[in-house]
């Protein structure tokens, strides 16, 4: 898990526990002020437990406290629940308050080895989705990648229809997201004109990976350029983060300006270093591979379009946004 997100979550869970305590104290105060019978029963329960603790090891039982302690405590608990019900309050009104009963709002379960609770994992996934721009993209999933609205007619001389091509692309992307980190290819490039579903598929991959518990960093081509510029001219270490993150997704490469001595140099360092380290990179671009190589030079193009460790998925057809599909 990314440390910065975990730090945020730890602060949120600490605030959650503080709110739990505030609610418990407010309920206890309400009982003291408005329901003396219930307060008296609570005090009897407290006195009972305290007296038994004080006589531990002596073999003596305080007068009036004969019998099993658990049975006596449960009898008082039962009376308290009955009185709460009479007062129109929930029977568990005085129970400890937790949003998650599994971890008691600590975020972790297990003794002595602590493991992240399912609630912490879900919160992390949501926060990561928000961080990479997927918070509102619940519809961008493989399950929602509908082929029905994609034209199924084959152009003359073509083996595949646009629907066939989209199906193949979706299957490749879903298989890659499900197989990570044991992928045949470390670099995936989604190529094709606007409106064919490249960004949709990239977001579906990111969401599937997050659901599987992996950390993803998604940036636009423009954000990449801004990061590269700061690294070159302001000694910022943002480019190092892009190089080292386990899964990097870069959207719309080719739309950013070509900044002299920055764009191509930074992209080469990024792609080359990530491939040398066996890290996974997903790129979407409106350029075909000839245009890509012409824009970014042969040394970058050869690393993107290398069948030994890279897969280029080419989407073709009509702009689905003009047909109401809303895909990029």
For residues 85 and 194, state if they share a domain: no
Residues 29 and 142 in one domain: no
DSSP, residue by residue, 115-182: EE-HHHHHHHHHHHHHHTT-TT-TT-SSTT--STTS--PPPTT-SS-HHHHHHHHHHHHHHHHHHTTS
Q: Give the count of domains, the chain.
A: 2
Residue 237 has a pLDDT of 79
Residue 109 included in any domain: no
Instruction: Report residue 63's pLDDT band, with 50, 70 and 90 as the boundaries.
Output: low
Other C-beta atoms closer than 10 Å to the C-beta of 212 total 11
Q: What does the pLDDT read at residue 15?
A: 93
Instruction: Say if residue 89 is in the same domain as residue 220.
Output: no
Least confident of 59-68, 209-218, 274-283: 59-68
Residue 267: name the closest of 292, 233, 226, 300 by CA.
Answer: 300
For residues 176 and 4, which has the higher predicted lDDT (pLDDT)?
176
Question: In this structure, is residue 199 part of a structural domain?
Answer: yes
230 in a domain, yes or no? yes
287 vs 71, 198, 222, 229, 315, CA distance in Å?
76, 12, 16, 23, 11
Answer whether residue 126 is part of any domain.
no
Cβ–Cβ < 8 Å for 79, 39: no
Residue 73 has which token pair?
A: 């405590």
pLDDT given for residue 238 in this prediction: 80
Window from 75-89, 127-141, 154-168 with minimum mean pLDDT: 127-141
3-class DSSP assignment, residue 280: strand
50 and 194 co-located in one domain: no
Section 60-77 average pLDDT: 72
96-124 mean pLDDT: 85
Q: Which residues sit opposite 314 in a β-bridge?
A: 191
Residue 280 maps to a domain: yes
180 and 310 assigned to the same domain: yes
Structural domain contains residue 202 = yes
Sign of CA dihedral 228, 258, 284, 313: negative
Same domain for 147 and 285 = yes
Query: What pLDDT, on a 0 to 100 scale, did the predictor assign at position 1?
Result: 46
> What would the two tokens of residue 265 be?
């140099």
pTM for the structure as a whole:
0.64
Q: Looking at the structure, tell me whether residues 35 and 145 fall in a common domain.
A: no
Residue 119 lies in a domain: no
Give residues with Cβ within 8 angstroms of 97, minimum separation 6: 20, 21, 23, 24
Question: Are 55 and 137 members of one domain?
Answer: no
The residues near 167 (Cβ < 8 Å, ≥ 6 apart) are 147
Are 204 and 139 in contact by the 8 Å Cβ rule? The answer is: no
pLDDT score, position 59 = 56
CATH number at residue 214: 3.40.50.300
Q: Is the pLDDT of residue 85 over 80?
A: yes
Residue 282: give the domain boundaries.
132-314
| Same domain (yes/no): 34, 158 | no
Co-location of 136 and 92 in the same domain: no
Asked which of 79, 99, 119 is the last residue of a domain, the reply is 99
């Amino acid at each position: 898990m990314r440390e910065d997100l975990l730090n945020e979550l730890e602060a949120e869970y600490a605030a959650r526990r503080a709110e739990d305590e505030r609610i418990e104290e407010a309920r206890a105060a309400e009982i003291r002020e408005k329901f003396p019978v219930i307060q008296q029963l609570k005090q009897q329960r407290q006195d009972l437990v305290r007296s038994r603790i004080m006589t531990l090891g002596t073999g003596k039982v305080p007068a009036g406290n004969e019998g099993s302690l658990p049975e006596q405590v449960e009898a008082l608990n039962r009376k308290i629940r009955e009185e709460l019900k009479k007062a129109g309050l929930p029977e568990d009104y005085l129970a400890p308050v937790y949003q998650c009963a599994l971890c008691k709002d600590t975020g972790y379960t297990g003794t002595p080895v602590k493991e992240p609770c399912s609630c912490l994992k879900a919160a992390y996934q949501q926060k990561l989705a928000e961080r990479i721009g997927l918070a509102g993209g619940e519809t961008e999933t493989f399950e929602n990648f509908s082929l029905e609205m994609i034209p199924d007619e084959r152009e003359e001389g073509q083996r595949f229809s646009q629907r066939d091509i989209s199906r193949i692309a979706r299957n490749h992307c879903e298989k890659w997201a499900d197989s990570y980190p044991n992928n045949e290819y470390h670099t995936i490039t989604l190529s094709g004109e606007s409106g064919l579903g490249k960004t949709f598929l990239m977001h579906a991959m990111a969401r599937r990976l997050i659901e599987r518990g992996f950390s993803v960093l998604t940036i636009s081509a423009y954000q990449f350029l801004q990061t590269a510029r700061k690294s070159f001219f302001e000694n910022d270490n943002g480019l190092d983060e892009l190089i080292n993150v386990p899964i990097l997704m870069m959207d719309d490469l080719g739309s950013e300006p070509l900044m002299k001595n920055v764009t191509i140099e930074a992209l080469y360092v990024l792609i080359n270093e990530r491939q040398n380290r066996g890290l996974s990179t997903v790129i979407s671009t409106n350029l075909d591979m000839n245009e890509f190589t012409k824009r970014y030079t042969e040394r970058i193009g050869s690393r993107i379009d290398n069948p030994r460790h890279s897969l280029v998925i080419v989407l073709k057809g009509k702009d689905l946004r003009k047909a109401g599909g809303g895909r990029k």
